[in-house]
Structure 1
């Protein structure tokens, strides 16, 4: 009988990597477990592994599982992995095969609908991943993965930025607004999907931000400003999160969702926001040499273009 783990062992030195390197494959128990691992290696990807004949048949999926049937994702067939990999997580040393951080993104069981050398149809039953998928071979080790069912998922919002109307003085009903600094930077909407963002084409320093989202989908609204000689993304709104559009949510709901992301890095941060604090925020903006403040109605939805729900008040 062929050794299904021969390729796996040849690629790894058990004295250098914490990965399991068993001498022989496990006995086939006829199980149907799966694991998806988030792998921050040379490039971020997800490893899909399906139990089959005592090993884990494996595919590297650069953008993760497709969220809807309208998009297929590349899935590169890799060597079979040992059953012990179902629970493996940790740091594979730099310079070793697959070097980088690996975490368990999801695990569970699956049902096989078809399994051949060119096509694998299956149904996942996990906490984060569920539904019907098919893997189909295209060329060599390159396969594609297609979602066969349609989950409830809002489309990415295709909107123009919401802009404040200018006003000389703060609104009298200050308690109905949140007050933020007007940064005077360049507006930027950042769509993140599959750990990547097209905004990184112009701003490569945003790649680590996108990777930090893992498989989470999001659309951030903010500005690129220069602080301390470096460009920084200051985020102040969230328009889309985990398959759900937030543009019709009130500002307070969007703000709470943004703060829950806990965005804090050397090149990105969440902009501070102070409900009802018109005077102190305006004075602080003036002292810091900022153009002014933006007052945002707490109950306002996100409206593309200029809106009276957001007010720019000069310093």
Structure 2
């Protein structure tokens, strides 16, 4: 084939790759395997023959498993000096991206005699389309074969022969260069173009996630739809435990994202579409280009990164703050159901595949130290923390005792059952009459008159007007300090409180926000587990 095609594809004043040139061969034939983040991340197998490196692109990489047949596409010959090449091919050049020497060593024909006979036998196999050889590398060892398919002149299969070096394990997990000891990501850190570097890093992480063993015991299933997320159980106090991880409890809307064939469905825990309401998130998810189901929280943060629910509720009108989707779980990925995998494995895979974008963020965690993490969250004015057992499975639609929430202030979700007439100079209404569901009955828990801005009073009254009714929604009509208008119990809200009376009525409640993302029927009295119950 020669080096003419190699030279025609490259501008050597713009790429660090070696210029073409024949070099006197050594006593033994060499091989090299490059790992290359080009347009598609792949591996290049290069075998020295006739003074050049005969080369094959192997999309899924080599394997030590004899049961696997790996496609190998023959490409142009490369100069022998390419055996020493590592670095970054700049954007705009052929094959732009990072390159590392993933493996290298010597190779020979299985029935080698002297070196002259060795090369003749290898060349004969190459021309025949059935090339057998033995690798003596740092990662790859033993007998292999390249067999030409009938598809076309360039398509071959790379096979591992059965011998003492054959193995079922995934050799591609060894992802460092045998020369520089760098990964592809570390090699790309030297590139000056930030956008090009980030694009390549995202590509590498996604490809390596597919190479990993994380998916091997995840069953192949159709993508699920309309998932109800796992819910956390309230506990009184934080705890430390080596088997648990701790995340920020984001003050936003819980949201599941389904990504399939470039389409995105983003919806709330009660199945309400967020596609239009938070279209910037939907558009950012559409750019991910893989099939997956994600679980996370939509938030709006200020310039200091603090989330604010009021900013989120008014984001469409004001546009103030930064709209983000913090993703903390991966339920499905490229045909595989991940819900039965341990949480930490799901999160590790999520971190690999999730690119760094202005709108989509990976929600990190700390291990073991829940008490300190809670203290920091409280100091920063955050809503709380979520503790999760590191080996927990994903229990869709259930409230799990392996996911626990610890709030920095006591809150309660409630259903609005009525409102009282305003007094003094107040407009629209005086207080909301609130309840929670116990079975099928709406039980009174108190009324709240504080915490409203005038705009809140007006907006809420407009939402309540169409729901007014004569019948009291509570089985026992509660006493109020002003005339009351009853409403259909369809709107959920959240209040802060200092505690509960013996009769189950809230002490000092203050209105916090509407919970339009939650169904009214979900509002139940939250009874925290005892201190430390979740940590054992």
Partner of 1:31: 28
Partner of 2:375: 280
Alignment of 1:185-200 (within 5 A): 185-186=254-255
2:158 to 125, 140, 145: 145
The alignment partner of 1:167 has SS state of: strand
Q: Which runs of 5+ in 2 are unaligned?
A: 111-121, 171-212, 265-284, 301-320, 331-337, 412-536
Given the alignment of the two structures, is residue 5 of structure 1 paired with residue 71 of structure 2, yes or no? no
Contact 1:165 1:312 in 2 (8 A): no
Given the alignment of the two structures, is residue 121 of structure 1 paired with residue 132 of structure 2, yes or no? yes
Note the C-alpha offset of 1:271. Answer: 0.8
Note the C-alpha offset of 1:128. Answer: 4.0
**Structure 2 CA distance for aligned equivalents of residues 94 and 282 of structure 1:** 42
Contact 1:30 1:52 in 2 (8 A): no
Partner of 1:15: 13
Note the C-alpha offset of 1:111. Answer: 4.0
**Structure 1 CA distance for aligned equivalents of residues 405 and 141 of structure 2:** 45
Structure 1 window deviating more from structure 2 (70-79 vs 264-273): it is 264-273
1:175 to 212, 226, 240: 240
Partner of 2:388: 296
Given the alignment of the two structures, is residue 87 of structure 1 paired with residue 84 of structure 2, yes or no? yes
1:134 to 140, 145, 170: 145
The alignment partner of 1:47 has SS state of: strand
Contact 2:256 2:295 in 1 (8 A): yes
1:98 to 95, 99, 107: 95
Structure 1 window deviating more from structure 2 (33-42 vs 104-113): it is 104-113
Partner of 2:177: none
Contact 2:256 2:293 in 1 (8 A): no
Question: Larger helix proportion, structure 1 or 2?
Answer: 2
Alignment of 1:195-274 (within 5 A): 203=285, 205-206=287-288, 223=296, 225=298, 232=325, 234-235=327-328, 265-266=356-357, 267-269=360-362, 271-273=364-366
The alignment partner of 1:116 has SS state of: helix
**Structure 2 CA distance for aligned equivalents of residues 175 and 38 of structure 1:** 42
2:56 to 55, 59, 69: 59
2:216 to 156, 171, 175: 156
**Structure 1 CA distance for aligned equivalents of residues 67 and 392 of structure 2:** 27
**Structure 2 CA distance for aligned equivalents of residues 60 and 68 of structure 1:** 19
Q: Which runs of 5+ in 1 are unaligned?
A: 191-197, 210-218, 238-244
Contact 1:186 1:224 in 2 (8 A): yes
**Structure 2 CA distance for aligned equivalents of residues 271 and 130 of structure 1:** 39
Contact 1:50 1:57 in 2 (8 A): yes
**Structure 2 CA distance for aligned equivalents of residues 268 and 144 of structure 1:** 39
**Structure 2 CA distance for aligned equivalents of residues 279 and 14 of structure 1:** 56
The alignment partner of 1:9 has SS state of: helix
**Structure 1 CA distance for aligned equivalents of residues 326 and 145 of structure 2:** 38
Partner of 1:311: 404
Contact 1:281 1:293 in 2 (8 A): no
In our comparison, the structure showing a higher alpha carbon Rg is 2
Distance 1:121 1:224, change over 3 A: farther
The alignment partner of 2:234 has SS state of: coil
Given the alignment of the two structures, is residue 48 of structure 1 paired with residue 45 of structure 2, yes or no? yes
**Structure 2 CA distance for aligned equivalents of residues 95 and 18 of structure 1:** 13
Kindly provide the CA deviation profile for residues 28-83 of structure 1, in whole angstroms up to 9, marking residues without a partner as x: 33523222222222332222212223211101122322464454333210111111
Kindly provide the CA deviation profile for residues 140-183 of structure 1, in whole angstroms up to 9, marking residues without a partner as x: 2122323443333566231699x75642324x681224432245
Structure 1 window deviating more from structure 2 (114-123 vs 136-145): it is 114-123
Kindly provide the CA deviation profile for residues 209-248 of structure 1, in whole angstroms up to 9, marking residues without a partner as x: 9xxxxxxxxx9986475667666563569xxxxxxx9x89
| RMSD between superposed Cα atoms in Å | 4.8
The alignment partner of 1:136 has SS state of: strand
TM-score normalised to structure 1 length: 0.66
